[in-house]
Amino acid sequence: MCPFQTMPPRQPPGWRNFRMDASMDLISSPQALRDTCRAWSKAGLTIALVPTMGFLHDGHMSLIDEARRRGDKLVVSIFVNPTQFGPNEDLDRYPRDLPRDLALAEAHGADLVFAPEPGAMYAPDHATWVEVPELARGLCGASRPIHFRGVCTVVLKLLNLVRPDVAVFGQKDWQQLAILRRMARDLDLDAQLMGMPIHREPDGLAMSSRNVYLTPVERAKAPAIREGLLLVRAAVAAGERDAETLGRMFGAHLAQALPGARIDYASFVHPDSMEPVARMDAATLFAVAVFVGSVRLIDNILLEV
């Protein structure tokens, strides 16, 4: 049985007529979302979309603020998409706080929040999936083999329902954005998929909903990941071009500054094709995934040559 068939509903389906003020609606029905967005489009209004899994933080707010500037109407989706979680991943314990998310979305100008239940997005006999396998072979796709299939499928569903002029994503998930852009290109989708820079804590740690899982000791040491990325960038600026040498440099730094951490990957890839790069003769993405305790953190840096 698929995981999205086993999760009990937390709210009733359909349009919930929830208005935090005169400007924001909360909708849980895909049909109601489609009808609302079609009416906006027929009225000549532009639409911006920010897809999220909720538990919003300042990184999400930077995406929402940018989307607010780019559309007459702003849709924020809040959906912990079960199809992008593997059997042994953290679907059940993924942090959720819908009332807080709604207040934040309202404060940042959302016109509509779409917060469906899994059963509204996936029929019990759901059998259609969207994949971009060439770009999903490495990095997160190697250790999370069904992840991007679930991401592509749910994002395509959201794009079909909303038909936004622009959808805004964070570049912390660089591989995800590259895959979604290829999907949009190959399927002739209308929406512009826009990437926004990684939003960081004052100490450099990339903002993530999963940061709440870190113990105080782990949280204090986790910025070592960003420090390692900057160390590699400095070495490239000084003339080093060999990816293997730079990778060893990052590993040695992490072993000293974040003992006990486990590197899932530390890879140099082409920023669009995600193909591995052995020697940097052009702009290269250095992307990492590191387990700090039980928490898997991702980060990246674009290395200009």
Q: What is the pLDDT of residues 119-178, one digit of tens each?
A: 999 999 999 999 999 999 999 999 999 999 999 999 999 999 999 999 999 999 999 999
The ranges of the chain annotated as CATH 3.40.50.620 are 3-196
Residue 71 has pLDDT above 80, yes or no: yes
SS3 state of residue 206: strand
Residue numbers belonging to the annotated binding site for beta-alanine: 84
pLDDT for residue 61: 97
Q: What is the pLDDT of residue 88?
A: 84
Give the confidence band of 11 by pLDDT, cuts at 50, 70, 90: very low
Residue ranges for the known binding site for (R)-pantoate are 84, 176
| Contact criterion met (CB below 8 Å) for 74 and 67 | yes
* Average pLDDT of the residues in 229-252: 98
Considering the chain, what is the average pLDDT of its residues? 93
Binding site for ATP, by residue number, is: 53-60, 170-173, 207-210
Give the pLDDT band of residue 23 (cuts 50, 70, 90).
confident
Mean per-residue pLDDT for 243-261? 97
The residues annotated as belonging to the active site are 60
Annotated binding site, which residues? Answer: 53-60, 84, 170-173, 176, 207-210
Q: Where in the chain is the domain with CATH 3.30.1300.10?
A: 209-303
CATH ID of 209-303, from 3.30.390.30, 3.90.600.10, 3.30.1300.10, 3.30.420.40:
3.30.1300.10
Residue 18 predicted with pLDDT over 50: no
Measured CA to CA, the distance from residue 123 to residue 74 in angstroms comes to: 27
Query: Residue 6 corresponds to which tokens in the numbers above?
Result: 């086993």
Residue-by-residue DSSP string for 93-146 = TS---HHHHHHHHHHTT-SEEE---HHHHS-TT-------GGGSSSTHHHHSTT
Distances (CA, A) of 201 to 5, 95, 207, 257: 36, 19, 6, 18
Residues 61 and 51: their CA atoms lie apart, in Å, by 12
For the domain spanning 3-196, the CATH number is 3.40.50.620
Q: Which residues pair with 263 in a beta bridge?
A: 290
Q: Is 301 a residue whose pLDDT tops 70?
A: yes
250 pLDDT tier (thresholds 50, 70, 90): very high
Beta bridge partners of residue 196, listed in sequence order:
170
pLDDT digits (tens, 9 = 90+) for 179-191: 999 999 999 999 9
Name the pLDDT band for 16 (thresholds 50, 70, 90).
very low
CA distance 213 to 203: 17
Whether the predicted pLDDT of 48 surpasses 80: yes
